Structure 1
Amino acid sequence: MSTFGEINEPSSRTAWEDWDDIFVTDDFLNLRLEKDVDIPKEIDTFIILEGRYLYDCVRAHHNLELVNSNAEVNLCLFKTKELNNYVCMIRDYNLILSSEIVELLKKYITISKDVIAIVTKPIVEYQVSELVSKDYVIRSISSSKQSTSNLDIHFPNLEQPNIISGVSAGVLCWREIIDKPAVAIICYMEHPEEQQIQELYELLERFKIIPDIAKFHRDNLFNSNLYI
């Protein structure tokens, strides 16, 4: 009998290998959008907003029309009422499901002229040699293909060894593969529950996700009339 390619484990093996922790289960999650709606032939800009901070910034406003959703990963897909842009908001999700979420959005991501992902992270995750004097830092990372649209997005490049992961990273990789423009904007912040970051608000306003900044008031405890 041929034993080519066979892995023989000694009975006295003490080392623990990666595959020892893999358990085969039937709990495969097949993500689907709630509604069976037609995908548009053209999308100018597809915008991904990751995290509770961005969700809280947008949820109270009415510039968006709900198109579809998936409750399993807290995903909502909107169309802006004024522009031919789509907005995907993901509040909380299991990082392991990132590739499935990207696959769920793949058709929208592929046909879009431009893709922008905005992610918020704790500032303690930002790794840099010099001292950070501000309570927030904004960086960006882009695909090789440059956008022909005037998106007017100019943030310093994300420095090594900082990385991004999750849905935004997967979307950026897919756009790189199909040779289309995409940019991920990463905002490292110290106090997300009480910060109002002008640069992010300006982006959300420019793409008609929220109304005019002068009229904008974030719906949270710190800006309410509730006193404890």
Structure 2
Amino acid sequence: MSTFGEISEPSSRATWEDWDDLAGDGQLPELQWETPLELPEKVDNFVLIESRDDSILSEEKKNILEINCIKKANLRLYKTQTGANKYICIIKDCDMMLSSDVVKLLKDIITRSKVIVTIVVKSICEYQTEQPTLQSCIIRKVTTTNKLNLMKIDYPKLEQPNIISGVSAGVFNLREHLGLSATSLVFYMESSTEYQIEDMQKLLQKIDISQARQIKQSSILNSNLYM
């Protein structure tokens, strides 16, 4: 019998998935808030930032107050000191296998928030495109079907095959499932430890986390190291 046009996989490959290697011994830590999480009935803004380090907000931390944490997920929850119910969550290099559990613990703030923005900071070498670029920072966005209450953030749409993963993907999918609005951004950057990106600061200013200041950018693309 002809099998033209069909793809046949060995039985061993058919029962194996990409994330199987990440499971390890299958023993994931049990996650919980350091203290019981207390939230107002309505939250104005909630911003979640996933990055390999938290230095991207080193200058802004004087404007926010830490109120809780999930230590085993490297997650810290802050509240802005502006009087409004605005929260920011910073997740530093969290194990991908813990994403679902983190989203469950964030469910109350996810469902109560009027405006949600998630930000994933990745290395620029992870950005997949057919068009070569010399930019030191590329920003792409994805929005939910419900665009009511979406923050006015004007960036190009994230192109395939690039994806949003981790806790940000879980937050976005939950909002979509509930028919609520959300914006997810991916910041492809050279380095988040050497300098603050102007577009990131402008976004944080909108939610009263960052204050306007002069930004000095230094990029290896602007140097003559390899000339």
Q: TM class, shorter-chain normalised?
A: 0.7 to 0.9
- How big is the shift at 1:209? 1.4
Report deviation, 1:24: 10
Q: 1:74 to 1:28 in 2, by over 3 A?
A: closer
Question: CA separation in 1, counterparts of 2:197 and 2:58?
Answer: 17
Question: Unpaired runs of 5+ in structure 1?
Answer: 1-12, 219-228
Q: 1:69 to 1:191 in 2, by over 3 A?
A: closer
Q: Which residue of 2 aligns with 1:6?
A: none
Cα contact 1:205–1:213 (8 A) shared by 2:
no
Point out the structure with max Rg over C-alpha.
1
CA contact (8 A) 1:33 1:69 kept: yes
- Give the letter aligned to residue 149 of structure 2: T
Q: RMSD across aligned C-alpha pairs, in angstroms?
A: 2.5
Contact 1:46–1:115 under 8 Å retained in 2: yes
Aligned to 1:34: 34
Cα deviation code 1:161-195 (max 9, x no counterpart): 11111000110000000000101111111233324
Aligned: 1:118 with 2:116: no
The equivalent of 1:160 in structure 2 is 160
Residue identity over aligned pairs, in percent, reads: 34
Extract unaligned runs of 5+ from structure 2: 1-9, 218-227
Counterpart in 1 of 2:176? 176
Distance in 1 (alpha carbons) for counterparts of 2:155 and 2:130: 19
- The DSSP-based 3-state class of the residue aligned with 1:213 is coil
Call closer, same or farther: CA 1:110–1:156 in 2, change over 3 Å: same
* TM-score of the aligned structures, taking structure 2 as reference length: 0.80
Deviations 1:193-218 (A, max 9, x none): 3243111011112211122224x789
Question: Residue in 2 aligned with 1:205?
Answer: 205
Read off the aligned partner of 2:175 and give its amino acid letter: R
**1:93 match:** 94
Distance 1:15 1:47, change over 3 A: closer
Matched residue of 1:200: which SS?
helix
- Size of the aligned set, in residue pairs, is 202
Q: Closer, same or farther in 2 for the Cα pair 1:148/1:32, shift >3 Å?
A: same
Assess if the C-alpha contact under 8 Å between 1:114 and 1:147 holds in 2: no
Deviations 1:36-60 (A, max 9, x none): 142210001110011145x213234
Query: How far did 1:14 drift?
Result: 8.0
Match of 1:18 among 1, 16, 34: 16
Q: Measure the CA separation in 1 of the matches of 2:179 and 2:155.
A: 22
2:188 is equivalent to residue 188 of structure 1: yes
Equivalent in the alignment of 2:64: 64
Measured at CA, do residues 145 and 155 of structure 1 come closer, stay the same or move farther in structure 2, by a change above 3 Å? same
Q: Counterpart of 1:47 in structure 2: which amino acid?
A: V
Corresponding position of 1:73: 73
Partners of 1:93 and 1:192 lie apart in 2 by 16
Which residue pairs with 1:223 in the alignment? Answer: none
**Deviation at residue 138 of structure 1 after TM alignment:** 0.5
TM-score normalised according to structure 1 size: 0.80
Cα distance, 1:204–1:144 mapped onto 2, change above 3 Å: same
